[in-house]
Structure formats: C-alpha cells, structure tokens
Amino acid sequence: MSRPSLLGFLLIAPALLMIGVLFLYPLGFSLGAAFTAGGQPSLTHFEKAFELYSTDILFTIFVVVVSTLLTALFSVLIAGVLTLSETPWLVAGLRALYRWPLFIPFIVAAQCMRTFLAKNGLMNNTLVATGVLEPLQATSFLDWRGIIITFVWKQVPFVTLMLAGAMASIDRATIEAGRNLGASRPRILVELVLPQVAQTLLVGLVLSFVTMLSVLSVPMMVAGSQPTMLTVDMAFRINSYGDYATANALGVISYALSAAAAWIYLRHNVKREVQA
Amino acid sequence: MNDQSQSAALASSAALRARPVALPAFLTGSMKIGSTLLKAAALAVFAFLLFGPLANLALWSVAERWYAPFKLPVSYGLRYWEVVFRPTGDAMSSLATSVGIASLVVVVALAVSVPAGYALARLRLPWRTFIMILFLLPQAFPSVAIYINVARVFYSLGLTGTIPGVVLVHAAHGLVYSVWIAAAAFSAVDRDLELAARNMGASPLRAFMTVTLPLAMPGIMASGIFVFLESLDEFTGTFFVGVPQVTTLPLLLYNASMGGNYQIASITALILLVPSVLFMLIIERFLKADVLSKVGQ
C-alpha cells in the first residue's frame, strides 16, 4: 500500500475525465473567448461589457452583498435563539420551522415569490387585511427587493443549519460562566459564541455568495428586465445575439466576484493561523 | 448536541444565575407575559414569512379565476389539475422526461463516483487533496458562465437538445456531492472488517463486494438520492443545453410562469416540491452522523 497505486489511478480516471471535459475545458474555453479577439489577446470584449452592462455589474454586486449580509444577520439570530433561548417551546417551534426552504428548488422559490410579492399578492393582502398597510400603499416588490427577499429566504436555512451545528458543539461552560457573571444573552451571542463559530459562518456565507451569483431563474422570474443580474445578461447575449465574446467577458467578471469572496475567506484563514 | 444534555445545561445555568435586583412579583409576572407574547408574535411572523409564499403557490394551484382587486381567488376548482395530469398533457411528458433523466444521471454519477470514492478513501493516491478540491471546483464558479460554453461545445458535437447531453451536464454537476459522500462512506467502514475477510481467504474484489460495499451502501444511497434530486430541480444547465427539444419539469414551470399561466406553473412547482420534502424527512435515516463527520477528510 505504500507505493502510489495504478489501480487507484484507474478507478479515479473516469471521474477526473468527466470534470476535465465538462468543467475545465469549458472554463478554458470561456477564458479564451473573453480575452482574445480575432486570435489576438485583447480586452475589447471587456470594454464592450463594461460599456453596456456597468449598471448591471453594480446591481449584481449590490444585490448579492446585501443578500449575504441579511443572510448572516438572520442566521446568527435564529441559530442564537436555538442555542441560547431558555424557552423550550420557542426553540422547538423555530427548530421545526426554519429548515423548510432548504430543499425547495430555486425555481419553485422564484415562482412562490412571483405571486407572493406581487402588488395583489398574499403579502400585501395580508398586510392590508391586518391594517398594517393602507390599500393604496401596496406596491409590487418584484424588483431588486424581490430578488434579495428570495435569496435570503432560500439561503438563511442553509447557513443557519451549519451555524446551529457549530454552536451546539462549542463548550457550554463558557456560556454558563458568562451567564453567571450576569452577561445578557445578546452579549453572550456576540462576544462569546460568534467568535467561536466565525469560521463556519464565513464558509456558509461564501458558499451562499457563489450560489447567488449562479442562479438564473430567480432574477429572470422575480424581477423585471432592467436593471438585472449578470446571469440574465449572459443568457440574453447568447440567446438573442449569439454573442459569446461579451457573454464570456461577463462570465469572467462573475468569476472575479466569487474570487473576491474566496479571497476574503482565505485571508481570514491565514490570519487565524498566524494568531494560532 | 442532544436535547437532554442541552436542557440539563440550560436548567443548571438558570438555577445558578444570580438576579442582580429582586423585582416585585407583580412586575416580573407581567414582564413574563409580555415577553411570552412577544416571542409568540415573533414566531408567528416568522412562520408567515416562511409559509406565506408556499400558501400563495397552493392557492394559485386551485384558483380557476383570480385577478385584481380580489384578495382571494374569484372561483376555485381543480380544472388545471386535470389539465396537468391528463395523460397526453405536456406536464406528464415533462415529468417522464425529468424522472428518466434523473435516473440516468444517478446511474452515470454512481458508476463514476463509487470507484473514485473508494480510491480516495482507501488507496494511496498522489495529490489526493488536490483531487478532492478539483471535484469541489465546479461549485466555486458561477455556473451560467460554464454552461454557456458547455452548450457551445455540445453544439459542435450534436449533443444540444438531446437527453444524453442533459444527462452529462447534470451528472457533472452531481459529481461534487457523489464523490465526496462516497469517499466519506468508504472512510467510515471499519478497515478491520475488510482485513478479517481477506484473512479468511477472500479475494480483494470479493472482500469489497461482500463487506465494504454493503457497509458503505447507506451513504452511497444518500448520495444517489441527492444526485437524483439535484437533477430533478436543475434549471440553468437544461436551459442552455436542453432547449428546445428537452423540456424537464423546471423548464415547463418556467415557460408556464413567463407565459402568465400561474395555475400550471404552481401545480408544476408543487409536483417538484414533493420529492424535496420527502428527502428532508428521510435524509437523516440514510446519512448517518459517522459518515457526515468524514465528509471532506
């Protein structure tokens, strides 16, 4: 067993081949198409992409960053209640509820929100019926707010699941010590619990960030056409013009955005290792 | 953490907690009621935000006529359910296409990832960590940019708009989960059991087939279910590679919704929800903690 086994390589070859043909090759293709024009290295496609879609690039960054921050806020809140609350029925109720959107496909979530957030949707109708809103104040949320709401609705259960797991495995003695010294529960959450699960939170948020950058159905179905997210622009360039060059330049911009998220994660890791 | 030890810890922390100032009994009493009401209200709002969108979907599926300014459907009925479940309808053929593709995807993904998972868990491989990360990479890139190029490559091979093309795209997407979970499932099998079988004269292949594989089966089943559902729900890849000939349920949903036919879209969405909810309810039986703890190692 000490030498690298030929058998091992043979067993893993088909899987590697599949990743190579269906991921690495198209990835190279996309980089090639984005950075060359007429066989020469060139940045003209990026110029065109920025010229036509700079609003959408900023819009995409805004939507994804706000969604990630809100996801962080709500997941910390829910996981914090699950871990620290002393009201058993509240914990049981929350535990039974929060996971539901986790396995709901994005396209189903998009269809739900398309009806729920509309001007005459169930949300406005409930708010009007309970007297929170005047009928004339009801507006459609089917724009950037709808995209953010759908993303947060879908991603909070995922991050909460990871976070609640991490919080359950930290040493309860520190929490009890804090309680005995008279610290309030919000303070314990922020100062004692969060630093211990920051790593898990960050992993969950980076994964959510990349997922939101990849989803095509939600911006197409929940929001109107302008402004919109880069995924929709890419699909539009391909389906309407067959313009692979500009679409791939937009694709490279979206790689750069997820690389930025990965970089934040790696920097945090390096810092931790230096401290340790 | 299990609930018993958690509640024991909570009880002890509650008992030990010192109250700085003793409040009069009537004041603590009303504060307690106030905080209970607040918690109940917060839980109710949370439940509304979670289930409101789903309730709206369910309402649309039984609404025969619903337009502004009516707050609820004008007339209810199952007419559209009959349209969807008509044997010759688009929905039934899409369902058959979706299930057929998902089953093929499971076969392809498992055929490739069971050997790969075994090799990663048991055999000495150079650059093992690098290979594990390589399987994770597709998750780290925004997929639309990849799929448009896959579609372009497939177009030159005549694979766009065909079932095999869609199966390949879904299988590559599912490979991330199936390889990682299969590797974890094989790692969780006790190596001594294999050695015992070998000592009693079993060939390596026989030891694998009669000892290792059956013990790893629950984890492999879980990864198969996962891949099946991912394929059933997949929209982006099918949107670029499958159109216009291959219409899976998510594409039918999309077309119906964009065409303003909310009833058909909602019923299709409900059909897609069934396996997802079932999965959530049974996954814990398949994916045991000892396998989960090995994922990514």
Q: Is B143 exposed, middle or buried (0-12, 13-18, 19+ CB in 10 A)?
A: buried
CA distance linking residue A258 with residue A264, whole number of Å: 10
C-alpha distances in Å from residue B19, one per residue of A19, B23, B34: 60, 9, 19
Q: What are phi and psi of B67, to 5 degrees?
A: -145, 165
Q: What are phi and psi of B75, to 5 degrees?
A: -140, 145
Sign of CA dihedral A139, A143, A148, A150: positive
| Other Cβ atoms within 10 Å of B170 Cβ, number | 29
Residue B28 has pLDDT above 60, yes or no: yes
- What was the ipTM of the complex prediction? 0.87
- Cβ-Cβ contacts under 8 Å between A and B: the total is 265
Q: Which residue would you say has higher pLDDT here, A96 or A73?
A: A73
Q: Which band of pLDDT confidence, cut at 50, 70 and 90, is reported for residue B284? A: low
Give me the pLDDT at residue B10, please.
47
| Other Cβ atoms within 10 Å of B164 Cβ, number | 12
- Average pLDDT on B96-116 reads 94
Residue pair B191/B199 in contact (Cβ under 8 Å)? The answer is no
Pairwise CB contact (< 8 Å): A168 & B1: yes
Long-range contacts of B286-290 (CB under 8 A, 24+ apart): B286/B218, B286/B219, B286/B221, B286/B222, B286/B225, B287/B181, B287/B218, B287/B219, B287/B222, B288/B188, B288/B218, B288/B219, B290/B188
Using a CB-CB cut-off of 8 Å, the residues of chain B touching A26 are 146-147, 149-150, 152-153
Give me the pLDDT at residue A27, please.
93
Q: Which band of pLDDT confidence, cut at 50, 70 and 90, is reported for residue B281? A: confident
Residues of chain B numbered 103-132 and touching chain A (CB < 8 Å):
111-113, 115-116, 118-120, 123-126, 131
Give me the pLDDT at residue B16, please.
45
The whole-chain average pLDDT of chain B stands at 83
Tokens of A60: 């995409």
Q: Which band of pLDDT confidence, cut at 50, 70 and 90, is reported for residue B283? A: low
Pairwise CB contact (< 8 Å): B175 & A122: no
Give me the pLDDT at residue A20, please.
93
Give me the pLDDT at residue B12, please.
47
Give the residue from chain A lying closest to B151, CA to CA: A26
Can you give the three-state secondary structure of chain B, one letter per residue?
Answer: CCHHHHHHHHHHHHHHCCCCCCCCHHHHHHHHHHHHHHHHHHHHHHHHHHHHHHHHHHHHHCEEECCCCCCCCCEECCHHHHHHHCCCCHHHHHHHHHHHHHHHHHHHHHHHHHHHHHHHHHCCCCCHHHHHHHHHHHHHCCHHHHHHHHHHHHHHHCCCCCHHHHHHHHHHHHHHHHHHHHHHHHHCCCHHHHHHHHHCCCCHHHHHHHHHHHHHHHHHHHHHHHHHHHHHHCCHHHHHHCCCCCCCHHHHHHHHHHCCCHHHHHHHHHHHHHHHHHHHHHHHHHCCHHHHCCCCC
Range in A74-83, A94-103, B53-62, B95-104 the model is least confident about: A94-103
Residue A4 has pLDDT above 70, yes or no: no
Give me the pLDDT at residue B261, please.
87
Give me the pLDDT at residue B123, please.
84
CA distance linking residue A138 with residue B39, whole number of Å: 27
Give me the pLDDT at residue B221, please.
87
Q: Which residue would you say has higher pLDDT here, A116 or A165?
A: A116
- Average pLDDT on A165-191 reads 87
Residue A100 has pLDDT above 80, yes or no: yes
Facing residues of A40 across strands? A37
Q: Which band of pLDDT confidence, cut at 50, 70 and 90, is reported for residue B17? A: very low
Give me the pLDDT at residue B43, please.
92
User: Which residues are CB-neighbours of A235 under 8 A, at least 6 positions away?
Assistant: A216, A220, B144, B148, B239, B240
CA distance linking residue B264 with residue B62, whole number of Å: 10
A175 touches chain B (CB under 8 A): yes
Tokens of B55: 């309730």
Give me the pLDDT at residue A5, please.
74
Residue pair A228/A237 in contact (Cβ under 8 Å)? The answer is no
Tokens of A102: 């986790």
C-alpha distances in Å from residue A194, one per residue of A30, A116, A199, A213, B48: 40, 34, 9, 26, 28
User: Which residues are CB-neighbours of B245 under 8 A, at least 6 positions away?
Assistant: B161, B162
Q: Indicate the SS3 state at residue B90.
A: helix
Closest among A210, A182, A23, A98 to B21, alpha carbons compared: A182
Residue A1 has pLDDT above 70, yes or no: no
Q: Which residue would you say has higher pLDDT here, B22 or B278?
A: B278
- Average pLDDT on A234-262 reads 92
Q: What is the CATH number of domain B87-292?
A: 1.10.3720.10
CA distance linking residue A269 with residue A263, whole number of Å: 10
- Residue indicated by tokens 């917060």: B42
CA distance linking residue B240 with residue B53, whole number of Å: 28
Give me the pLDDT at residue B286, please.
62
**pLDDT tens for each residue of B197-222:** 989 988 888 988 899 999 998 888 88
Residue pair A111/B253 in contact (Cβ under 8 Å)? The answer is yes
Length of chain A: 276
- Average pLDDT on B83-88 reads 80
CATH numbers and ranges of domains, chain A: 40-275 (1.10.3720.10)
**pLDDT tens for each residue of B124-173:** 887 888 888 888 888 888 889 999 999 999 999 999 999 999 999 999 99
* Distance between A252 CA and the closest CA of chain B, angstroms: 8
A186 prior amide bond cis, ω within 30: no
CA distance linking residue B4 with residue A267, whole number of Å: 39
Give the residue from chain A lying closest to B178, CA to CA: A15
Tokens of B242: 């499958």
Give me the pLDDT at residue A271, please.
79
Pairwise CB contact (< 8 Å): B112 & A18: yes
Domain residue extents for chain B: 23-81, 87-292
H or E element: which one contains A205?
helix A194-214
DSSP structure class, residue A240: I
Using a CB-CB cut-off of 8 Å, the residues of chain A touching B236 are 214-217, 231
Return the percentage of chain A with pLDDT > 70, whole number. 98
Give the residue from chain B lying closest to A211, CA to CA: B142
Residue B5 has pLDDT above 60, yes or no: no
Give me the pLDDT at residue A130, please.
86
Using a CB-CB cut-off of 8 Å, the residues of chain A touching B146 are 23, 26-27, 30, 251
A4 prior amide bond cis, ω within 30: no
- Average pLDDT on A211-225 reads 90
Pairwise CB contact (< 8 Å): A115 & B53: yes
Sheet strands (E) in chain A: 36-37, 40-41
Tokens of A181: 């010294």
Using a CB-CB cut-off of 8 Å, the residues of chain B touching A217 are 235-236, 250, 254
**pLDDT tens for each residue of B243-275:** 888 999 999 999 999 998 888 899 999 999 988
Residue pair A67/A159 in contact (Cβ under 8 Å)? The answer is no
Residues of chain A numbered 56-85 and touching chain B (CB < 8 Å):
none
Identify from B149, B170, B252 which residue to disrupt to test chain A contact, counting A C-beta atoms within 10 A and taking the largest count: B149
Using a CB-CB cut-off of 8 Å, the residues of chain B touching A108 are 57, 233, 253, 269, 272-273, 276
Give me the pLDDT at residue B288, please.
59
Using a CB-CB cut-off of 8 Å, the residues of chain A touching B7 are 88
